[in-house]
Structure 1
């Protein structure tokens, strides 16, 4: 497998994977709503009752993207990619429990490890960009996805944006979110420390738009927001492709 110089997947160990389903729903208020709307946005973009092959990048943990899309569109099939073995194992368990393994190809690794001539009708990149350090790594994954999408195909991008320290009120509200769920002050600090570990989100919505534009996508439509989190849909422009 192709490995980046600093692999952010290393922090998603067995301990983090085992608690991900619960913790992610606390860290992101509206976790399920975001995934529900992402499925609706892709279905609206592709058209009703259409068959589709969807690339799901960073599918590890809950596999919620696939579970939600599969329920809405029974004729869609999926390719799930994640570089963390514990997170992908957790996702595989959820897919098995929902009888979706026959509709999903599961790959341990990175987008670059997929065949260069792979062709997808749509893709999702949810909760990934803010774990990649620097614009170069963010551009690499977006370009790798773009190269494997059909012309005009939609991409859902969702994740944290804003430099965390630049938004002290949102950061404090995030702390209160954990307290709201019963965490002590020490637990709140520990949870925030784990979330912020190695995180490098785009610093604004404009930065997200620029990353997408430079990777060959058109203007993105924002459809969800929750504290630091945002979710957008953008479509691949023309026939432009990139070489990994």
Structure 2
């Protein structure tokens, strides 16, 4: 996760809030559903400690869940200083700073106690190169969760080039947002070369099983993007 942070410099952090909502149709809905699922899993109105991995940029995980559950506290982790600063500003503007702590770095920089009641990993895994590194990240998350804790995983999956219709629709969505054709083509090249998503839904299930999670249930899908909920075993 730390090595993948290099791409999220100050320039990208500044544009992330806008561009992430174009790249992912249903951005808010995915985060809202994630918060609702965690609330349903843990019980509405209680207290919980939630680990938010890759919170940089919009901190939408904290914003959605924090507004829904006033008794929850959040630990937000991100290896990119500019992305973490952007997220912190969003949380401060929403009045949720008192319930949020910040950690610059990867999950491995946190203590090893299994003290979190839930965790999220949204929009991160496809930026982690290689299956071994993806599995290691999921294992780091699992190691800090209480037994039975719910875990939200969301991100891109499958080879983009293998689904040309979806890729074309994704490019057209950028055009709908007023993006110039030259920039659209550059974005296509970037997504084909710069990301390493899990191979398919089966690969995601295998990664989660290898990290100590139950079989995942999908709750969200949008072109290349998927969202799942699983639980920490034992």
Report TM bin, short chain.
over 0.9
User: 2:43 — aligned with what?
Assistant: 47
Aligned residue number for residue 9 of structure 2: 13
How far, CA to CA, are the matches of 1:118 and 1:14 in structure 2? 33
Matched, 1:102 2:125: no
CA contact (8 A) 2:30 2:220 kept: yes
What is the TM-score normalised by the length of structure 2? 0.97
> Could you tell me how far 1:190 is from its partner in structure 2?
2.2
Partner of 1:64: 60
Cα-to-partner distance string for 1:75-133 (whole Å, 9 max, x where unaligned): 00000000000000000110111111110010000000001115100000000000011
Aligned to 1:227: 223
Instruction: Report if aligned partners of 1:8, 1:198 keep a CA contact under 8 Å in 2.
Output: no
Q: Which aligned runs of 4 or more in structure 1 are off by greater than 2 angstroms?
A: 190-198
Instruction: State the Cα distance separating 1:185 from its structure 2 match.
Output: 1.2
Residues paired across the two proteins, number: 234
1-structure distance, mates of 2:51, 2:176? 35
Q: TM-score, normalised by structure 1?
A: 0.93
Aligned to 2:203: 207
Deviates more, 1:59-68 or 1:197-206: 197-206
Q: CA deviation at 1:171?
A: 0.7
* Stretches of structure 1 lacking an aligned partner (at least 5 in a row): 239-244
CA distance in 2, matches of 1:96, 1:60: 13
Report the alpha carbon displacement of residue 191 of structure 1 after superposing the two structures with TM: 2.7
* Cα-Cα RMSD: 1.1
What pairs with 1:168-187 in structure 2 (closer than 5 Å)?
168-187=164-183
